[in-house]
Structures are given as structure tokens and as C-alpha cells.
Amino acid sequence: MKTLIAGVDGYLGWALALRLLSKGHQVIGIDNFYTRKAVKEVGSDSALPIGSFHQRIRGLPKDKMSKIALYKADVTDYGRLKKIISKYRPDSIVDFAEQRSAPYSMRSRETASHTLSNNIIGTLNFIYAIKEINREIHFLKMGTMGEYGTPNFDIPESTFIEASINGKTDRIITPKYAGSWYHWSKVYDTDNLIFANKIWGLTTTDIMQGPVYGTRTSEITDSRLFTRFDFDETWGTVLNRYCVEAVLGMPLTPYGSGGQTRAFLSLEDSVTALSLLLENPPASGNYRTVNQFTETYSVLELANIVQERASALGLKTEIKNVDNPRVEAETHYYNPERKILPGLGLKGPTKNLKDEIEVIIKDLLPYKNRLEKHRSVIAPKTNWRA
Ligand SMILES: NC(=O)c1ccc[n+]([C@@H]2O[C@H](COP(=O)([O-])OP(=O)(O)OC[C@H]3O[C@@H](n4cnc5c(N)ncnc54)[C@H](O)[C@@H]3O)[C@@H](O)[C@H]2O)c1
């Protein structure tokens, strides 16, 4: 299989590239290195050091090195994107190339505008390139479970649901109620993809993924192959942030009461899920919505688990709830459906969360001095209400 990964230099992109290469697939990578620059701009850095992209590729065994090509390119540049896709004519395209921070998107009009234009135009460019070059390309677009928000009903894993108004019934797009401009950008992507499928029959997998945690996959077996790992308030996901707080002896900081429940999965399960979806595309011309997660926890439950595992490693931490900078329900119903990935073989978490937390902390400990320099960027500063 020949797969183009847009956003290949990122947390998920690099890990997926390694997985696909290890399965003998060919990878064409695109990235404009936006995340590297944006993380530096908030005074932070990847907790685990990563080399330049070319250094990363040179660290691969020769047989894998020859199966990956890299382009520095911006997916909002349609001409360049189309040229690369036309040159390689991949079987599938994975789109990770988006601004992926909710707090960044909420900082100002400018950052909201950048998030919406980068993400929506990037996806639109893929839609047009696929339509013009080869409509049989399987487009696997990474969205987020955050598109749904936290409705007081079960979240179906389907593109449409039936709704009745005044006794009349019709099919409507599964309701979405996102909680940041970033999450809304993904909702708009979804709407555009559903429309493109309706008019041009593009074969699409739209993934609603929960927050991913972890440092390792079966391929990331030594530090030269590390993927990036962000922990600051803008770019870090919750569990990764708690682990860095534990390493630095800082309190673990759930926002508000910590009852916000989300759907999580490990980096290992994320790349396994993605390769299963790539190897098992929907029938030609079909659109598939996938809820990609393996377990649900409240953010307070996660803090308790990190505290316990850190303590087992001799790291004493307290839990200190901080004012919630976001506008979100702290007590709510949460029951997303999950049937497609279990049907393809990913039945539950393949790694135990507690063991994974221990692995993350052990991977971070050698870089404690590096993390010390960035203490001040962990506490939340971006206020949704401001
Ligand atoms: N990490 C998670 O927990 C998680 C959960 C759900 C969804 N997602 C989504 O998965 C995707 C990948 O997430 P990640 O954590 O790897 O993020 P990341 O920021 O580490 O990776 C995204 C990559 O895309 C690149 N990029 C951004 N805009 C680009 C553009 N216009 N042109 C070319 N490259 C561009 C960035 O430089 C970066 O390397 C994102 O779309 C994100 O919203 C991530």
C-alpha cells in the first residue's frame, strides 16, 4: 500500500509512518513543521528530544529509509499539494495536517481565524485534489471525539441518525456541539467531507478520535525513534501533561472539579487502529464515521491513577484542582458507541493504562532538566471566557 501522510512530523504522523513502514508499506510524508515552531512560540518544546526530520529518517534501517519520501509543503498550497499527489498517486491519504490545539484556537481572533482557515482549507484542498486526480483514493481524515461535545444521549458511531419533527422523520447528520474553535473546525471538515461524498462519491473514513497518550509503540523501541511529546497548556494533552507534572514534582492539575469524561486511547492503539482502517477501507464511494478510542475516564480519575503510579516510582505528587479556564460541563453523561474498530479486531485497550503511565514517566525522567526549563508553561492561562 502507498500512503501519503500529511502532518508526518507530528506526534501521530511519525508514529504511524513507522508502523506503516514496518508493515512494508510505502510512505510519502508532507509537513510544513508548523507544530515545531508554534510550540517554541509558547516557550515550550517537545519533552522528548526529536531530531530534524532528515535526521529522523537517517536513523531508520536502510530498507525503511528507501520506502519513505518527505516533502516540506503546506497543505493549504493547493498547487503544490496537487503536484505531490499526482506524482505518487497514493492508494490512501491520511490527513493529520491541522492546527490541533483548542487553547491556541481560543486565544484571539487571529488564532481562531488561523485555526479555521488552516484546517478547513487544508481539508478542502485534499477533497479537490482527490476528486481531480483519482476518486478511488481512500481519504482518512483525522477528526476528534470533541466534535460531538457531551450530549445527554448515547453518541452513535454513524454519519446520520433518524430524527422526527412534528411527526415527520428524516435522516440528519449526527448532531455535533463542539467546545472550541479548533473542535468546530473539525465539525466543518466533517460537513464538507459528507457533502463531497454526496456529490462526488469520495471514499472517506472520518475518524472521531479521543485524546491519545503515551510515548511508545511497537516500533518506537529506542530514544532515536521518539515521536514528539507536548505537555504545555497549549499543546499538551491531559494525561501527558499530568505525567510531566509528576516528574517535576508539581501538583497534578485537573481543571475544575475534574468530572469531565473523555474517550482515550494509547499511541500504540491509535496507530494500530489507523493501520486497520487503512488496510480495510470502506467500499468504494462510501463514507464511514469511526469513533476511535478504547476507554473512557474522567480527568480526575486519570489524575488519581497518575498519582498512584508516580508514587510507586518514588515520585510524590498531590492533586490540586485549578479553576477551569474552559466553558464545559464538569458533570455529564458520556456514552460513545464503538463497534467498527472492535469489528476489525481492536476490541479493547491492548496495554494496561497503569503500565503505560509508568512507561511514560520512565521515558520522561532522563529529561527532567530539560523539562525544568519549561515549568512555567504548564499552568492554564488561556481563558475561554476572556
Ligand atoms: N494527539 C491527540 O490526542 C489527538 C486526538 C484527536 C485528534 N487529533 C488530531 O490528529 C491530528 C494529528 O495530531 P497530533 O497530535 O499528531 O498533532 P501534531 O501537531 O503533533 O501533528 C500535526 C502535524 O501537522 C503539521 N501541519 C499543521 N498544519 C499544516 C499545514 N497547513 N501543512 C502541512 N503540515 C501541517 C504540523 O507541523 C504537525 O507536524 C490533528 O489533526 C489532531 O487534531 C489528535
Backbone φ, ψ for residue 381 (5° rounding): -125, -25
Three-class DSSP category at 158: coil
Beta strands 2-6 and 168-173 are unpaired
> What does the pLDDT profile of the chain (386 residues) look like in tens digits?
999 999 999 999 999 999 999 999 999 999 999 999 999 999 999 999 999 988 999 889 889 999 999 999 999 999 999 999 999 999 999 999 999 999 999 999 999 999 999 999 999 999 999 999 999 999 999 999 999 999 999 999 999 999 999 999 999 999 999 999 999 999 999 999 999 999 999 999 999 999 999 999 999 998 999 999 999 999 999 999 999 999 999 999 999 999 999 999 999 999 999 999 999 999 999 999 999 999 999 999 999 999 999 999 999 999 999 999 999 999 999 999 999 999 999 999 999 999 999 999 999 999 999 999 999 999 999 999 99
For ligand 1, the distance from its centroid to the CA atom of residue 186, given in whole angstroms, is 12
Ligand 1 pocket, residue 230 CB under 6 Å: no
- Ligand 1 pocket, mutate which of 35, 45, 72 (most atoms under 8 A from CB): 35
Ligand 1 pocket, residue 100 CB under 6 Å: yes
Ligand 1 pocket, residue 182 CB under 6 Å: no
Distance CA 65, CA 59 (A): 8
For ligand 1, the distance from its centroid to the CA atom of residue 371, given in whole angstroms, is 22
Which residues have a catalytic role annotated? 144, 182, 186
For ligand 1, the distance from its centroid to the CA atom of residue 59, given in whole angstroms, is 22
DSSP code string of 272-290: HHHHHHHHSPPSTT-EEEE
For ligand 1, the distance from its centroid to the CA atom of residue 311, given in whole angstroms, is 32
DSSP code string of 172-227: EEPP---SSHHHHHHHHHHHHHHHHHHHH---EEEEEEPPEE-S--SS--SGGGPP
pLDDT of residue 127: 98
Ligand 1 pocket, residue 32 CB under 6 Å: yes
> The domain 2-377 belongs to what CATH superfamily?
NAD(P)-binding Rossmann-like Domain (3.40.50.720)
Ligand 1 pocket, residue 275 CB under 6 Å: no
Provide the whole-model pTM: 0.98
Domain ranges of the chain: 2-377
Under DSSP, the state recorded for 350 is S
Do 188 and 120 form a contact (C-beta atoms < 8 A)? yes
Under DSSP, the state recorded for 269 is H
State which ligand 1 atom lies nearest to the alpha carbon of 73.
33
> 117-136: b or e for each residue (b if 16 or more CB lie within 10 Å)?
ebbbebbbbbbebbeeeeee
Three-class DSSP category at 377: helix
Distance CA 359, CA 339 (A): 29
